[in-house]
Amino acid sequence: MNIEELTKKAVEIRKGIIEAVYNAQSGHPGGSLSIADILTVLYFHEMKIKPEDPKWEERDRLVLSKGHCSPALYSCLANRGYFPVEDLKTFRKIDSYLQGHPDRNKVPGVDMTTGSLGQGLSAANGMAIVGKMDKKDYRVYCILGDGEIEEGQIWEAAMTSSKYKLDNLCVIVDNNNLQIDGTIEEVMSPYPIDEKFRSFGFEIIKIDGHDIEEIIKAFEVAKNIKDKPTCIIAKTIKGKGISYMENQVGWHGKAPNEEQYKEAITELEKGI
């Protein structure tokens, strides 16, 4: 896909996020919308995958460590052909396989069960280490929330990434500056994020997380980094794409009502 096609696809991904959260009347739209462009580039341009064979051994892996943002991952997987888009409307329903957090045993295309924050990078390290040991050329991508990196386990895992020179690992920090209780500075500031990861032995790339071209270039650069892991710090906007949700901490974990749902879909469709 070219940049224009990816931009349009990102709109479809955002529509899927809103459909899922609205129909469930539950979920996390803000942080899902902030990673929509990154996930779109990964699943429709960057990652080596086979939707018809979700467990293909040579595939690239993705760990959505901020697992509460499953609507974004599910929307990408559905639009990529792993399961019907219509199933997004069953999100969080009692008999649905699309639970509030991703489950690798239930959802085709989910590489790691996540939800307990801070643990995803450890799992991604394991995948990357196995790739090295088995002499595989797959890459492992791990998306972290900027509030999530307040967790101590992230930094233990970061030491491991560096120690084992995991150049097949690419960490993406969704730096939307908001978490459930407010700004990340107010809660427990992880800034400066770039200097912290650099001090742990990572190559640092800083981008606009909503600029498709910048995202593509960042992943290209990351693939050519040798003997150390890469951390892409993506500056994003929580709730991106829906005016009344943008930069509003209240939309961290709240579903739109019918009027808000219709307004959101109308806004997104105007952007196609």
pLDDT (tens digit per residue) in 86-108: 999 999 999 999 999 999 999 99
The whole-number pLDDT of residue 50 equals 98
pLDDT at 272 over 90: no
d(CA 94, CA 7): 33
pLDDT tens track for 149-165: 999 999 999 999 999 99
Mean pLDDT of the chain: 97
pLDDT tens track for 194-252: 999 999 999 999 999 999 999 999 999 999 999 999 999 999 999 999 999 999 999 99
pTM of the model: 0.97
d(CA 238, CA 84): 27
pLDDT tens track for 50-88: 999 999 999 999 999 999 999 999 999 999 999 999 999
pLDDT tens track for 174-197: 999 999 999 999 999 999 999 999
Average pLDDT over residues 20-31: 98
The whole-number pLDDT of residue 66 equals 98
Question: CATH for 3-270, among 3.40.50.300, 3.40.50.2300, 3.40.50.720, 3.40.50.970?
Answer: 3.40.50.970
Delimit the domains of the chain by residue range: 3-270
Percent with pLDDT over 90 in the chain? 99
Residues sharing a CB contact under 8 Å with residue 262, sequence separation 6 or more, in sequence order: none
Question: Quick check: 225 and 167 in contact, CB under 8 A?
Answer: yes
Find, among 60, 63, 40, the residue nearest to 143 by Cα: 63
